[in-house]
Structure 1
Amino acid sequence: MDDRDWLILQLLYKKKNITKTAQSLYISQPSLTHRLQQIEKELGVVLVNRGRRGVQFTPQGEYVAKHANQILLDIQKIKENVSNMEKDVVGTLRLGVSDSFTHYKLPQLLKAFKEDYPKVEFKVTTDWSKEIVQLAYNQDIHIGIVRGDYSWQGEKHLLFSETLCIVSKEKINIKDLPNLPRIDYRTDYLLRAMIDNWWTDNFAVAPRVNIEVDRADTCKGMVLNGLGYAIVPSMIVENVDNIHKIDLIDKKGNPILRPTWMIYYKDTLDMSIVHAFADFVLETHHVEK
């Protein structure tokens, strides 16, 4: 069995569906079925049973599939360690990055790093910060960049903090917010809690949410077209002209801040590619090591 076979078992165990697994691997369904039969022949056991409800793993199949993640991780580490034996910073850096940071900051960051280290390639996973923390915990990524205060036992560096702010096309008064149309967007629960807590500290009635969208960029577009106000992290409207901003403050008059962190395990710094990128990010954001 090679690493491709272990990937087949990993994905099939996750999806429980031959067609979806084949699509994820960009191969035909008959090719996947044939390869699965070859794996079973090599191991001398039946790994899966196929029925109306999809794929069901046998006890032997469960055992093999559950080891696929660790085996693939071990293969990846071997490849990375071999690459790390070279003096040059080379190889593939696996990053997990929150949606907003990916959109507003990451392209420029990777471009600048690539100029210094042209032999480096990137594999970037974009997701909610909570999911990025889980990827880092499972060592599916080398470095995570998350927004919000999530628990993390490894290395953790504060890259920057930004204010939460009310944004609108026209100038508005905070006291009038309960009567004004608001635009909300889908976001992580930590940010939602910060906004909701600020609201309940200042108003006794619920906000008048007229529009709900799935992305911050869409929300910003709605605001710029005068459809209502929104409460967003300041990074969302950075360098945007013709928009009014009011920073949120708590009961003590302090600005309400949302932090962005870089997280990783210390032993990953043994890899030159990870060490170089971590140092580069800290230097870029003027963070002391």
Structure 2
Amino acid sequence: MEDRDWLIMQALYAEKNITKTAQSLYMSQPALTSRLQHIEREFGVKLVHRSTKGIQFTAEGEYLVTSSSDIVNRFNLIKEEIKNLSQQNAGTLEIAASNYLTMYTLPQLLKRFKTEYPNAKFKVTTDWTKNIFSLIYNQKAHVGFVSVDYGGCKDMHLLYEEPICIASTTPFDFKDLPNLPRIEYKSDYLLKSQLDKWWRENFEQPPTISMMVDKLANCKEMVKFGLGYAILPLRILHDIPNIHRLNLKNKENQPITRKTWMICNESSMELPLVNLFVDFVKASHL
């Protein structure tokens, strides 16, 4: 049955007359008769009997009328609830973010947004930057946070840029780095290529990799306990006391930095809650 069929059943039960029912619903009499016949075929029963005195409902017809009241009321309630949700900025934000941002930036950001918009919910996926671009492109996430620009995304907003530095809990001499124990971590291919290029520009021999860990956060912990040096973004080092660091620079003596962008697609921006979140992030000082 279509939504209007429930209204037809209610009006017909109230009027007990085809002509009056058609007039009340602004329908032609043949159109109303056609819809009534369609409903009867759909349920496979006779719903009404016609006579010179008007319409009489069968037991099946009366049951359908009773059900129609419940369904119409429920449908109106759903429409009202949806309207309220829109006014309350409610819904679920699907967010994809890198491990780094998920650990050090995203929780505080989502907490502030939730405080201001308590009806918002979050579904967060943590993945590599290259995969996040795919999630956004395929509309499997509303908003993404990435640290490498893999291209192909028109809507990118630079959130912040931070230095990349050599970090160690013990003093070090730059020229001695190839012989010192280095802690390495898995990172996006483009970012790793950038750091490898920097190394080749400054040293003729490869680094001495003493440890390979899966995440940047684990690498930081190894550095924190004095197990070697690592090349890390500055923001991650804020809670390590007495850390020794040296910011990386390229051949042109320009700082080598790690950028963080917010990305999304045009379709997602049509959702009010996504629009609200994007504007909120842009206005935040991360």
- Return the TM-score normalized by structure 1: 0.68
CA gap of 1:221–1:153, structure 2 versus 1, over 3 A, is: closer
Matching residue's letter, 1:152 = G
Q: How does 1:55-66 map to 2 (within 5 A)?
A: none
Separation in 2 of the partners of 1:273 and 1:247? Answer: 39
Matched, 1:155 2:155: yes
Q: How does 1:134-149 map to 2 (within 5 A)?
A: 134-149=134-149
Partner of 1:68: none
Larger radius of gyration: 2
* 4+ residue segments displaced more than 4 Å: 82-85
CA gap of 1:111–1:83, structure 2 versus 1, over 3 A, is: farther
- Percent identity for Structure 1 against Structure 2: 46
Residues 84 and 273 in structure 1, CA contact (< 8 A), matched pair in contact too: no
Structure 1 residue 226: deviation in Å? Answer: 1.5
Residues 97 and 146 in structure 1, CA contact (< 8 A), matched pair in contact too: yes
RMSD across aligned C-alpha pairs, in angstroms?
Answer: 1.8
Separation in 2 of the partners of 1:153 and 1:110? Answer: 23
Structure 1 residue 93: deviation in Å? Answer: 0.5
Separation in 2 of the partners of 1:225 and 1:83? Answer: 54
Separation in 1 of the partners of 2:276 and 2:226? Answer: 45
Partner of 1:48: none
Q: Give aligned pairs, total.
A: 206
Matching residue's letter, 2:258 = R
Q: How does 1:196-211 map to 2 (within 5 A)?
A: 196-211=196-211
Q: How does 1:39-58 map to 2 (within 5 A)?
A: none
CA gap of 1:84–1:96, structure 2 versus 1, over 3 A, is: farther
CA gap of 1:243–1:120, structure 2 versus 1, over 3 A, is: same
Residues 83 and 91 in structure 1, CA contact (< 8 A), matched pair in contact too: no
Secondary structure (helix, strand or coil) at the match of 2:198 reads helix
Q: How does 1:1-289 map to 2 (within 5 A)?
A: 86-285=86-285
Separation in 2 of the partners of 1:234 and 1:83? Answer: 45
- Return the TM-score normalized by structure 2: 0.69
Separation in 1 of the partners of 2:83 and 2:256? Answer: 44
Q: Which runs of 5+ in 2 are unaligned?
A: 1-81
Q: Which runs of 5+ in 1 are unaligned?
A: 1-81
Separation in 2 of the partners of 1:244 and 1:223? Answer: 11
CA gap of 1:238–1:251, structure 2 versus 1, over 3 A, is: same
Structure 1 residue 285: deviation in Å? Answer: 3.1
Matching residue's letter, 1:270 = E
